[in-house]
Amino acid sequence: MMEAPGSAVRKFRAKLGRSRVDADGTDPVLAGVSDGGSDAAGAREAANLATALASLEQQLAGLRSEVGALRAELAASTLPTPSGSKGQAAISPVRSTPTAGERAGAARHNREMVRPGGEGADTQAAAPLGLPARPEHAVNRHIRRWRCRSGRLRRAAAPYARAIVRPRPAEMPVPAPLTWGELGALLAIMAVAAFLRFDGLAALPSGLHGDEGIAGLEGRRILRDGWIGVYTPSALGQPTGPFYVVAPAVWLFGDTILAVRLVPALLGTLTVLALYAVVRRNLGVRTALVAAALLAVMTWHVHFARIGFPLEAWPLVVVLAAGALAEATRSDGPRWWAAAGAAAGFGVYIYNAHPLVLAVFGLFALYHFYRWALIVPLGALALFAYAPSALTLAALAGGILSLMRDRRLASGHLARRAGAFALGAGVVLTPIARFAAVERNGYFNHARQYTILNKEPWTSLQGESSRVDFLLDRYLQFWDHLTHAALVDGVDASGVMPMVPLALLLLAVLGGGWGLLRCRLPLVSIGALMVLIMPFAAVTTIEGAARRTFAIAPFLALFGALGAIQLFRFAAGRAPMPRLGVVAGLALAVWLTVSQSVVNYRETFAKAPMQEWVFCRELTDAALYMRGLPSTSYVYFYSERWSVNYETRQFLAPDVRAEDRSAQFGRFAFDIDPANGTPVFVFLGAYRGDVETVRRLYPGGNLVEGGELGKPPTFVAYAPPVAP
């Protein structure tokens, strides 16, 4: 059916209006979120559309003139009157009666060519050629108007009726060129991020945790042996990907605290830059700058960037994978989908909790390709596997029948893109999958150790409702602990202070709600899935909640930026007094975010005795002292908490010869064997008081106390006099 010229003109005028908005730098998809565009590209598009519009208007004018000529010709057409009629003209405008076939053709003509008007439309029904106009019945007119109104209402409500996680393909704005102002703001943000992560890196946190020592030991092993595989049994099992990056730092800086913490600090700073680049591509310049600034000062991200755990590379990989996946949704070819699958799969070589991230990305990809056609049967299958029953079996059968009737599964275009995503992920995951397939490798030992599904109180819960309530309580508890000082984790010291300020979380809730309801771009949908699903990595495990959910930190910064910008734009359109209140509230939220993230970390966390306890301050000072002893020395080590073979000592003082003499790890005694070398006694914790006993047994030796002046010593060392 041929489109009416007037309709085409109206469409081009609407598109021209959008292009003019684009030329001004506003993304029509985001409707206020994007804050940059290419003026030159928008102007060229506007000029092209204006030319096309002028051409269509000329064609419309020609058609109107032809219609006018036809109407004039019809009006001039006449039929001869009967002969002998006096007082009448020779011709009469009386029409002949149309036949039934002519009336049927006229009805078809009306249905195809006549477009019903709106509320102000002409009350006369359009007449076909050769037929008189017929008045429209009042009932029909009201029905037509009601249908027009209901159609507009349905179209207006349709976006809100869809699922909020539905990724809507969106035409992204042309990225704006980098201006000097934007470059200056970015450099300032990166300078702040680098300062917070590198300043005093070896001194805060105070000490070196054993897991940091493992990272240094594995880096040293890589320098010595080369390839060590994709997984190591150290620390109950962990991927080796980050250790290959730590190895060059150990080679450059030796067995030092700085060597194991330098790489996480660098990766954390690069994550801020990566988040800026991904958000700028998808949501615009201002949103990208605010998101990068929030991540730069976020306590959660700063804290783990200053710890030598193999963890800081995880958010970087997740951000890059999310950017690749968002780019793939706008691409018709399979290359971006393959890149997104490979990037998503690479995270399994960084941290044990990444399989849940991989599941989130896979869920998004499946929904993008097949909507609910494939997700519903998979969910029904999982439900049937968890709780077999007639009801779940019926749900599974219904899902399979629905899947068989869906036409999207037969689409070759979708199959190629889905296959590219699966292929990219499969190629990257093959080495770790082959390792995990061998039971003796112990790949799943870490998960079995920390899961709650085989421990109390989960095993004692009766009924599915009680288990759901239990998981829901832990889910809410996770968010509460994230924003408040809670139980301190014995591995990373999270809980000494809030990881995420409450003001930032409230901004993230506001921004996430707005993004899902009004924006719904792929990056927003991916971020929402991450924020909502990843907490279950902490809900279903014991300890380490801040570590296993660390990948959502960049997305909280993203949603916080969306919330701050939308709140500011809301205030800009208000009256002066309400505007002042909104701006004051926004300024207070930003100040609280920055102060809690920067000042409290430098003050509260740095002075907390608990963080010194977690990061083995006593053992670290003792190991640094032992490293400076002569090579002929032999250490007798006393500590109720650590063995002398703990990883912190092994990394910081690898060449020290020592033995445990505490009751917890060895034979408690004060005798010495001169054949071992020059004796040195080192006392930690509750054993520090035994130094007086040793001084009485071997008087005249040298006493050394570790730690800071004015504080209790972290260790006490005594070197008896050397026999002549």
**Of residues 59, 48, 62, the one with CA closest to residue 19:** 48
584-633 tens-digit pLDDT: 777 777 777 777 777 778 888 988 999 999 999 999 999 999 999 999 99
527-536 tens-digit pLDDT: 999 999 999 9
Q: Which three-class secondary structure state does DSSP give residue 631?
A: coil
pLDDT band at 29 (very low <50, low <70, confident <90, very high): very low
Percent over 70 (pLDDT), the chain? 77
651-696 tens-digit pLDDT: 999 999 999 999 999 999 999 998 999 999 999 999 999 999 999 9
145-199 tens-digit pLDDT: 655 655 655 555 555 444 333 444 444 555 678 899 999 999 999 999 999 999 9
Q: Which helix (H) or strand (E) holds 633?
A: strand 633-638
Distance CA 190, CA 295 (A): 10
Beta strands in 259-409 (DSSP E): none
Distance CA 672, CA 666 (A): 14
Residue 138, token pair as written in the block: 């009042």
Cβ contacts of 271-277, under 8 Å, gap ≥ 24: 271/295, 271/301, 271/312, 271/315, 271/316, 271/319, 271/554, 272/189, 272/190, 272/193, 272/296, 273/190, 274/316, 274/319, 274/320, 274/323, 275/319, 275/554, 275/557, 275/558, 276/186, 276/189, 277/323
Cα 666 to Cα 652, 700, 701: the distances in Å are 22, 27, 24
Q: Which helix (H) or strand (E) holds 51?
A: helix 39-76
Residue 261, token pair as written in the block: 């913490």
Is the omega angle on the peptide bond into residue 457 within 30 degrees of 0, that is, cis?
yes
Beta-carbon count within 10 A of 436 CB: 16
Distance CA 387, CA 399 (A): 16
504-557 tens-digit pLDDT: 999 999 999 999 888 879 999 999 999 999 999 999 999 899 999 999 999 999
pLDDT band at 127 (very low <50, low <70, confident <90, very high): very low
Confidence at residue 174, expressed as pLDDT on a 0 to 100 scale:
59
Beta bridge mates, 92: 79
Residues 6+ apart with CB under 8 A from 246: 215, 216, 218, 219, 259, 260, 263, 308, 310
Residues 6+ apart with CB under 8 A from 712: none
Beta-carbon count within 10 A of 363 CB: 17
Residue 46, token pair as written in the block: 């506007």
Distance CA 325, CA 187 (A): 27
Distance CA 719, CA 699 (A): 10
pLDDT, greater one: 485 or 386: 485
Q: Which helix (H) or strand (E) holds 678?
A: strand 678-683
Which whole number is the average pLDDT over 314-332?
A: 95
Percent over 90 (pLDDT), the chain? 54
pLDDT, greater one: 217 or 709: 217
Residue 503 has pLDDT above 80, yes or no: yes
| Average pLDDT value over all residues in the chain | 82
Contact 342, 428 (CB under 8 A): yes
pLDDT band at 394 (very low <50, low <70, confident <90, very high): confident
Distance CA 547, CA 555 (A): 15
Residue 49, token pair as written in the block: 């559309």
